[in-house]
Structure 1
Amino acid sequence: MTPRQSHRQTGFTLAELAIVLLILTVLAAALVVPFSARLGAERRDQTATMLDNIQAALIGYAIVHGRLPCPSTRKNPLDARYGEEDFDAATSNCVISTEGMLPWRTLGLPAFDAWGLPRQAEADPWTGYFRYRVDLGFSSTQPGAKIRANTAYQNKIKVVDHAGNEITVSSYSGSEVLKNTTAVALVYSTGPDLTTSGANASYEAGSDATYEAGDPSTTFDDMVMWIGRPLLIARMAQAGAL
């Protein structure tokens, strides 16, 4: 007797394959969201560390040089002074009194945040590069014009929260003005969306400006660091630089 041959199919049916693919798709989607969140958190932590290092470098620069550096304004990556501070030798002031880029080469720091990309040509966007603003009263390059305990503000660079409430104090005037905590220097990252958010997108173009800081939200993801006058004076005094 010869054994009866079975013609039963041992593979998956189309319906079974479809179910397996559906399950794999659901599992993959469940893994992608946490991974994306972890990556975003890591980049935010990296940028926060960079901003801490920038604050330390700016204070250190002021201790050594008696002033804060000017913003960088060179746009051409091939320029020999690209990434360095720009000041006007004729006026002993910064070339600009408004927002520029962090002078990363002057400070020996990275040029951009964890989301940034290096520029190769003058027309390239400033993707992720740190923005920088400084009070002209604390950045003069005039010989002998060093920061002192009584150095006064020339600008009003204040910081507000998402509701427009002042985080830094700018209400003192007259003989009390030195109590103000408005920023003498401010640096910020444009965050993962690579564009300015909130008040940072429409800051005043003159010597006075209002910037926004706070927790990230669906409409705000900038990361802002500033140095108030009291902090700078205290650190310079501790270092014996006043």
Structure 2
Amino acid sequence: MAVVMVVLGLLIGGSLIPLSIQMEKKDRDSTGRQLEDIREALIGFALSNGRLPCPDVDGDGVGDGAVTCSNAEGDFPWVDMGLGQIDAWGQAFTYRASSNFADASDGTGCSASTPGISFSLCSAGSITVLDGAGGNPVALLLPAIVISHGKNWATTSSADEAENTDGDSVFIDRIYSSNSASTFDDLLIWVPPHVLKSKMVSAALLP
């Protein structure tokens, strides 16, 4: 009987690891789909409003700032966008927007302003994505970025995850890792500048 219990315990214990991995994959896939919807919503908001939304800095789900955004980074303004507030792990999405694309007036000065549009074809964002701390660029001059900090939110042992929570305009996007020495489970999505501008031109909102 004791041998049977030991074998049963080993079988159960062995099955728990794959199950936990499957559950995390399910949550990551679900959050990935949310992020895709968020990117589409951000582009749709720009088409409707001539700018990207401001970040939510007071936690009410509404972007803060009228002519100028109150802060470049905060929570994703889910109420304004009509989308869910949290990721699969119950945490709010972090959202950062470049002022050149989110402030109500075109302050880039790189070309003649288009009435009602906060940016021009020559406008450049301020957000950079690297493949690791001090690493190679993945994306440059982005208008906006959204981050899910994953199951572990941000661990103090991960320099790359810490970079995604330090409030500056540099972010890390790299392959998932559960290794304790290099943990990384953040999920990121961004608005590519040329895609946004192309959509604005197609809608006859930019020349």
Same fold (TM over 0.5): yes
Q: In the alignment, what sits opposite 1:201? A: 162
Q: CA separation of 1:199/1:34 partners in 2, compared to 1, >3 Å: closer, same or farther?
A: closer
CA distance in 2, matches of 1:191, 1:106: 23
CA offset digits 1:121-165 (Å, max 9, x no partner): xxxxxxx21000001111122494514543523x52100002610
> Which amino acid in 2 is paired with 1:64?
S
Matched, 1:58 2:32: no
Q: Distance in 2 between matches of 1:130 and 1:64?
A: 22
Instruction: Give SS of 1:167's match.
Output: strand
**Number of residue pairs matched by the alignment:** 190
Quickly say closer, same or farther: Cα 1:35–1:184, change in 2 above 3 A: same
Unaligned runs of 5+ in 2: 107-114
Root-mean-square deviation (CA, aligned residues, Å) is 2.0
Q: Report the counterpart of residue 210 of structure 1 in structure 2.
A: 170
TM-score, normalised by the number of residues in structure 2:
0.84
| Mapped partners of 1:31, 1:68: distance in 2 | 46
CA displacement 1:194-217 (0-9 Å, x = unmatched) = 2265445246646xx210002111
Supply the AA of the counterpart residue of 2:117. Answer: K
From 99, 104, 107, the equivalent of 1:141 is 104
Cα 1:27/1:45, change in 2 over 3 Å: same
Percent of aligned positions that are identical: 33
Uncovered stretches (5+) of structure 1, i.e. residues with no partner: 1-16, 76-81, 117-127, 170-181
CA separation in 2, counterparts of 1:35 and 1:205? 35
Q: 1:64 to 1:101 in 2, by over 3 A?
A: same
TM-score by length of 1: 0.72
Does the 8 A contact of 2:51 with 2:119 survive in 1?
Answer: no
1:182-238, Cα deviation, whole Å (9 max, x unpaired) = 2100000001112265445246646xx210002111311110111121111012222
